Amino acid sequence: MQTAMTPRSRKVRVLATLGPASNSPEMIARLFASGADAFRINMSHGDQDSKIPVIAAIRALERETGRPTTILADLQGPKLRVGKFAEGSVMLASGHEFTLDRDPTPGDSSRVELPHREIFEAIEEGARLLLDDGKLVLRVTSHGHDWITTRVEVGGKLSNSKGLNVPDVVLPMAALTDKDRSDLAFAVDQGVDWIALSFVQRPEDLAEARKLIGGRTALLAKIEKPSAIARLEEIVEMCDGVMVARGDLGVELPPESVPPLQKRIVEVSRRMGRPVIVATQMLESMITSPSPTRAEVSDVATAVYDGADAIMLSAESAAGDYPVEAVSMMNSIADSVEKDPAHGDRVHFTVTRPDPTTADAIAEAAKSIAATVSASAIVCFTSSGSTARRIARERPSVPILVLTPKLETARRLGLLWGVHAAHTRDVESFEEMVAKSKRMALRHGIAEAGERMVVCAGVPFGTPGATNVVHVVRLLGDELRGRG
């Protein structure tokens, strides 16, 4: 069993989605032992009561291992769907006309209900409507307050209640549905560490979720709408973390545009100091196969080379036949990439210039000093986690040991690149800071006797956001004694 005393050797984090194949305490423990650093709970599936024992199992594992463990609750968001057909399904022929309207009468090959008033308010002539994950494509030729006439550009079979995407317009819809509000309140009450918000189109979409959360957990924006790309920096500024949700991006945009967008989202997030997760179909074939394709391995490796904070498994670990193998494979790929001598140079292709603040200057200095004196680790003391985020943004070549008196802070940092967080009592003096950093580094296997470390903290101690000290220490063999 992986324990708090044995940190991961890699810096990128692995986020595993839990589901029918992996919800049991035994499977959660196996996923953790195989390399999962954090767990995603998808609120789209199952009821709230079914999530309670899953969260309890993760917290029990946390107590057993002594390692703060991260839980991310992913909200469903609005789901746009067409209505039902009299025969259950129809065939739409390319070139034919097809109408969507507000009439609840079961549809046929000429029309069907579209029960979303907001689409009729925002639609424009020439806009595309994508049905069934983009398998069918309609082009709007005319529209009114309760009807939209289209021409079928890509036809096929259309069944009851299939999903619909509207990539070319910003819809006047809130990112939170009534279900999302209920799920958000439940997840916060259960003590999850991150809330992921779906269907983000603009920075304003984050405001309601932020208000409902009330500072009790961190907020992550899923970038899955083309409209979000147009205001990407504003959205990143408004959230605590970002997910590159490539599934819906790949439906609403040409597939060839997704890789450069992925790199852009990762770059912007890193530059602005927000942890960024690359998600969706990373090892898709491992849902039914014990091994991935070479292309999937390359895809995961690319995200690691780009310096993403975390890489995510979806159905592979939630509902696949080989959840443990999928986590183990992702762990192995990431570990192999980070051992590549070229990895250090590649993750610094993104230039992360510090803001003109003392805390940012200290973080940049810590990275440079660690490299210059060949330190084995950077240790930082933090209450809010902001110091850890600043240092991680610099992508230092050594592990980051974060010591915090707040368990919730330690848990939230589980999605942050290179961080090994430990929950411990705060320090009250410079001498105590030095002594504790040495003891905890030895105890957690971050550094060994005779090695140097760079220590960052804020004086006066216990003052959030006051990072103003960087100090180099050398560990001695007898410094493991004492309390943590």
Q: CA 53 to CA 153: how far, in whole Å? A: 47
- Which of 222, 246, 393, 412 does the annotation list as catalytic? 222
Place of tokens 């060994």: 448
Tell me the C-alpha to C-alpha distance, in Å, between residue 274 and each of 208, 218, 352, 416.
20, 11, 11, 9
Q: CA 318 to CA 19: how far, in whole Å? A: 4
Which of 37, 44, 41 shows the shortest CA–CA distance to 73?
41
Q: CA 246 to CA 231: how far, in whole Å? A: 17
Q: Is 81 a catalytic residue?
A: yes
What does the DSSP assignment read for 1-12? ---TTS--S-SS
Per DSSP, the three-state class of 472 is strand
Widest distance between CA atoms in the chain: 81
Provide the CA 227 distance to its chain's centre, in angstroms. 19
Q: Is 40 a catalytic residue?
A: yes
- Which of 79, 81, 179, 263 does the annotation list as catalytic? 81
- Which of 99, 280, 387, 424 does the annotation list as catalytic? 280
- Which of 11, 40, 225, 411 does the annotation list as catalytic? 40
Residues 6+ apart with CB under 8 A from 318: 17, 18, 19, 20, 21, 22, 42
DSSP H helical ranges for 272-311: 294-305
- The one-letter code for the residue type at 447 is A
Place of tokens 């990072």: 467
Could you give the residue numbers annotated as active site?
40, 81, 222, 280
